[in-house]
Amino acid sequence: MMGEELSGLSVKDLQNLENQLEMSLRGVRMKKDQVLIDEIQELNQKGNLLHNENVELYKKVNLIRQENMELYKKVYGARDVNGTNRDAFTNGLSIGEDSHVPIHLHLCQPQQQNYETPARATKLGRLQLQ
């Protein structure tokens, strides 16, 4: 209803129209509030799931880091060949479960090793008689 159409209404009709508009507006606001509340609850649930997944991933990373340290110790002992401390392997990162240090991993192609055999090395294989 446009403002021009209101000129023929009585005061009682205008009050009734105002009440209807207020009721409609209240219903729209309640619906909007409920939609926003539902969205907030859904986002909180997603946030909790992501947090739990993140905690589990940190635990897995720390477990792998510990396994790597154990393998490193088995291969190199407490100190490596150069005599440097094994802690250099961890880059100063702690292995505890409370560690929330971001870990940046990347894949790379293995580097090709160039193994040259010395000229005096014994050659293995089939002998050819001439």
DSSP output for 35-86: HHHHHHHHHHHHHHHHHHHHHHHHHHHHHHHHHHHHHHHHHH-SB-TT--BG
pTM: 0.47
Q: Is the pLDDT of residue 57 over 80?
A: yes
Q: What is the mean pLDDT of the chain?
A: 76
**Of the spans 1-15, 32-46, 86-100, which averages the highest pLDDT?**
32-46
Asked if the model's pLDDT at residue 18 lies above 60, the reply is yes
